[in-house]
Structure 1
């Protein structure tokens, strides 16, 4: 069963932290199971390959790199539903939600919108993060 995630947010640090959390959750911490992709063509080729040394692999690709390949939304939906790996598509910054690719990813993948904390929540987050770092 395919696990697809679409991580969207304007804060680089928070998006990267969420992506790392997802990678860790799906066992993509070692070099055999995590693969960074850089284009739509590469994603089509690699996503359906069977893993050699692990049950499933974690694929990581940036939204802008997918968008540059101008994929057909029908192909995107078909590909995302037919693989047995974990796919994490992420973007940092503002993204046009009106594009066909954004809409298709939003429906075929778990959309995770990373929002920066504000006000008292921001103060609490900074204090917790400071305590973690020591």
Structure 2
């Protein structure tokens, strides 16, 4: 089953995370994730994915059952079963977190608790994602993710 939605970002970033994984960042600065070392740390811990889209604007996201193995992928922890997918500026921080209100630029995707291989690809303003269960969720990136 596919899920499709659109979102608008003013930070050229798609954020993907389970709110439980970023609870320790809620009281941090609102833009803590724009510091490369902090962003890379959370990605490597499997707590969040931040995909740099190249430019601000409106994007269409399609969540598919599976994407081709040739797509880029990273691991993500999902301890609560509720994953936010949306604009980077809605990342937990500044004493705020995504809350499902009309001002939130994204959606919550329900998933069974566990760890996932998140495959992703981008073609112009369309982003495709898939979530496949895996054992463990850690990554080993050295640079920011750009798609």
Scaled by the length of structure 2, the TM-score of the pair is 0.27
Higher relative contact order, chain-length normalized (CA < 8 Å, sep 6+): 1
Scaled by the length of structure 1, the TM-score of the pair is 0.28
**More strand as a share of residues:** 2
